[in-house]
Amino acid sequence: MSELETFRAEARAWLEENCPAEMRTPAKGDEDVCWGGRNFVFQSDAQKLWLERCVAKGYTVPDWPKAYGGAGLSPQETKVLRQEMAKLGCRSPLNSFGIWMLGPALLKFGTEEQKVHYMGQIARGEIRWCQGYSEPGSGSDLVSMQTFGEDKGDHWVVNGQKIWTSYADKADWIFCLVRTDKTNKYQGISFLLFDMQTPGVTTKPIKLISGNSPFCETFFDNVVVPKHQIVGELNRGWDVAKYLLGHEREMISGMGGDGGVTSIGAAMKAVLSEEPVLRAQMALFDVENLTFRAHGERFMDEWKTGKAHPAYSNLMKYVGTELNKKRNELVMSIGGTQALEWESERSNGGSKARNWLRTKANSIEGGTSEVMLNVVSKRILEMPGA
Amino acid sequence: MAMTLNDDQNMLRESARDFMASEAPVTHFRKFRDMGCKDGFSHGLWKQFAEMGFTGILIPEAEGGMGMGQIEAGIVLEEIGRNLSPSPFLTTSVAAVEALKLADKAMRDRWFPGILAGETVIGIAIEEGVKHRPEKIACVAERSGNGFKLTGHKQFVVQGTSSDMLIVAARTAGAVGETDGLTLFAVDKDAAGLSMEAARLVDSAMAAHVKLEGVQVNADAVIGDVDGGWAVLSKMLDAGRVGAAAEMVGVGTGAMDMTFDYLKTRKQFDRVIGEFQALQHRAAHLYGEMEGARSIVLKAQSLMDEGHAKAELYVAAAKAKAGLACNLAVREGVQMHGGIGMTDEYDIGLYMKRDRGLNEFFGDAYYHADRVATMNGY
């Protein structure tokens, strides 16, 4: 047996032994997902136990180094672990912007102290992070942002406003782009970390068309941030942000379809068999879904071996989000009038309609589809022009 | 398996790429088209394929071939597609070889040496109607003497009149529409009662309409089991489908690259037209479609090589996706080239024609999307 197959057998045995039965069923909704943090209330003992066991094993962040709370697995081992988790239907023990976004940025740009401190907290699910990038006047044109940190010697005083801050009202800390030099557009931004309980920080949830409020407006009024809470160099926060946006696009690109290759068509057979045109649409969607899974697998294999173009995640983000929107349109069409119900128990509180509406943001957040196409065209295809 | 090519595969790609570009570029295709060649391909080139080892790429090493898999065959096919290189490779070295690998030793010994030498061409005689419907095969093989007597007709037999042997699917039992009761036969081109009419297709390939009027074959002409031909047929068709999909990745990529080059050089309104966002977004979208097609084709090939249970599903998805993406590439190609894209002098139109032929070969995108739905349980 190869080393990797030995690892697969061990991982499977560990999962079978340690993943509670309740954690081998799909999460019922966003509130059923473990996000960790100071204020998180576990939905069940099983959820708490599953997190604790994974933390002890380093499996909340299996590919991070052990010194920072991970299990130190190789990319191949991590892939095998995820495959085995998928086979058993294991839920992710911990969802977190810290894992997906801040962690990778710290690993590349952070000091050793920052890695040990912040990455450790993330791995253990102790601190829940949010991201402060967009501002009311700075969406696709992010670099025009105005939130300003005034240099006060050993600290900055931050004033300004962020928008579309995911779960800012539930987060403990924020990683935030702050202008520290008004004379230099790109090289005048710093990447700061601070506690959301710092005096002067307030949040206000934004109600979306789905009726839910996953995003907030976040206001900073004379917020004091000590100088050691900067990641990377002063005024070079844009480099960190760009790197991190790559990770965000990679993460969002994974949203197409259902996280796997299982067709949603089989469960809808009764409707589809009577509507040949809808069945045909579903069939073509399944072709695209299988394609996207294979594409994602190939991209990850090339990414890990350094063969992928550095801008490739922009393409995956575009394809994956457009696919997810298409999928939810089909779910609504197949669901018919029942999918229109907004509150009933029968409709699980209107989950289909709310999810459908939520997906419309996929191709806006983290860079719009149009911006992604611009980036692919210029950086990968090397089309001319500004 | 990792979804990246290994070192050996990258080397094969380089040598196939160099070979097609120097020995069988689009000018080669044009030459044979313009001379009205009755075969639609060069026998000399087919010999050169053999010297490169390509013709026996799927034949086991023990029988003189390279013993490689669908990924490697696909690497060659992609370069064939990119250069529109005309050859019997897809039908003879991919589809026919996969069927013959399931035949008995005597038959393999009869045909493999000629394929390895680049001397033998084999035609695939499956289709009976204008669309791919393998389960609807009505051609009949009745027991007769020491073997069978075949009666019926076939069409879209690519390079049929240039073939030394035809693989004919016929019904030995069961009713039209059933997959049981089919049998595959190796029928010599000179067999009494067999007649062919060659037709030139839109992409200048030659395909034959075949009449079988009481063609007598011996029992040893059977490939695989009598009445159990569906197993051999499925394997042959899937190899042909994933091969056609790989060739379409080449055709689509060739058309796309040519078009992107054009966008970077053609000037209108005092600027290169590739500066216009309306074209940039379409170009980026097309690139994504071709990348997706390339990925699903590689996935299908690797699952076939592993003998994975899901291979059939992925082959269907790959043929569908490659067909859709390649078709987009040639349509966008002609449109973005503008007026000159409509001229015979420019190559982009040749890619559009080739895409049509390959899309129809062994089932189009809609046929295979329908199969994906059925295999997915609805």
B interface with A, Cβ–Cβ < 8 A, is 2-4, 260, 263-264, 271-272, 274-277, 280-281, 283-285, 287-288, 291-296, 298-299, 313-314, 317, 320-321, 324, 365-366, 368-370, 372-373, 376-378
Residue A302 CA, chain-centre distance (Å), reads 21
- CA-angle at A39, arms to A36 and A43, nearest 5°: 65
Average pLDDT for chain A: 92
> In whole angstroms, how far apart are CA B124 and each of A203, A229, B3, B102, B304?
69, 70, 31, 15, 21
Is A282 within 8 Å of B373 when comparing Cβ atoms?
A: yes
Q: Write the Ramachandran bin of A3: left for phi over 0, alpha for psi from -120 to 50, otherwise beta.
A: alpha
User: What pTM does this model have?
Assistant: 0.90
CB of B191 within 8 A of CB of B213?
no
CB of A44 within 8 A of CB of A59?
no
Residues of A in contact with B281 (CB under 8 A): 370, 373-374, 377
Per-residue pLDDT for B36 more than 80? yes
Task: Pinpoint the alpha helices (H) of chain B.
Answer: 7-23, 26-34, 43-52, 70-83, 97-100, 105-117, 229-265, 277-306, 311-337, 348-360, 365-375
Q: What is the pLDDT of residues B289-346, one digit of tens each?
A: 999 999 999 999 999 999 999 999 999 999 999 999 999 999 999 999 999 999 999 9
Q: What is the pLDDT of residues B122-139, one digit of tens each?
A: 999 999 999 999 999 999
Read out DSSP for B29-46? HHHHHHTT-SSSS-HHHH
- Mutation target to probe the B interface, by most B beta carbons within 10 A, among A83, A261, A287 is A287
The two tokens of residue B115 are 């394929």
Lowest model confidence (mean pLDDT) among A26-40, A115-129, B12-26: A26-40
Q: Which residue has the tokens 């499956």?
A: B126
pLDDT of residue A303: 85
Candidates A265, A305, A385; nearest CB to B4: A305
Which structural domains are found in chain B, ordered by start? Answer: 7-121 (1.10.540.10), 124-228 (2.40.110.10), 230-375 (1.20.140.10)
Q: What is the pLDDT of residues A92-110, one digit of tens each?
A: 999 999 998 999 999 999 9
User: What is the distance between the alpha carbons of residues A120 and A129, in angstroms, rounded to a whole number?
Assistant: 13
The two tokens of residue B215 are 């063609």
Q: Which residue has the tokens 């490939």?
A: B223
Which structural domains are found in chain A, ordered by start? Answer: 3-95 (1.10.540), 129-235 (2.40.110.10), 254-380 (1.20.140.10)
H or E, element range at A359: helix A351-359
Q: What is the pLDDT of residues B4-31, one digit of tens each?
A: 999 999 999 999 999 999 999 999 999 9
The two tokens of residue B47 are 């010999």
| Nearest chain B residue (CA) to A275 | B378
Is B272 within 8 Å of A385 when comparing Cβ atoms?
A: yes
pLDDT of residue A75: 82
pLDDT band at B247 (very low <50, low <70, confident <90, very high): very high
Per-residue pLDDT for A261 more than 80? no
pLDDT of residue B174: 95
CB of B302 within 8 A of CB of B71?
yes
DSSP structural state of residue A90: P
Candidates B284, B298, B378; nearest CB to A272: B378
Candidates B285, B292, B298; nearest CB to A373: B285
Task: Please compute the mean of the pLDDT values over residues B191-204 and round it to a whole number.
Answer: 97
Is B4 within 8 Å of A385 when comparing Cβ atoms?
A: no
Residues of A in contact with B287 (CB under 8 A): 315, 376, 380-381
Instruction: Indicate if the alpha-carbon torsion angle B141, B143, B145, B147 is positive or negative.
Output: positive
Instruction: Indicate if the alpha-carbon torsion angle B10, B14, B19, B21 is positive or negative.
Output: positive
Residues of A in contact with B296 (CB under 8 A): 290-291, 294-295
Is A286 within 8 Å of B284 when comparing Cβ atoms?
A: no
Q: Write the Ramachandran bin of A153: left for phi over 0, alpha for psi from -120 to 50, otherwise beta.
A: left
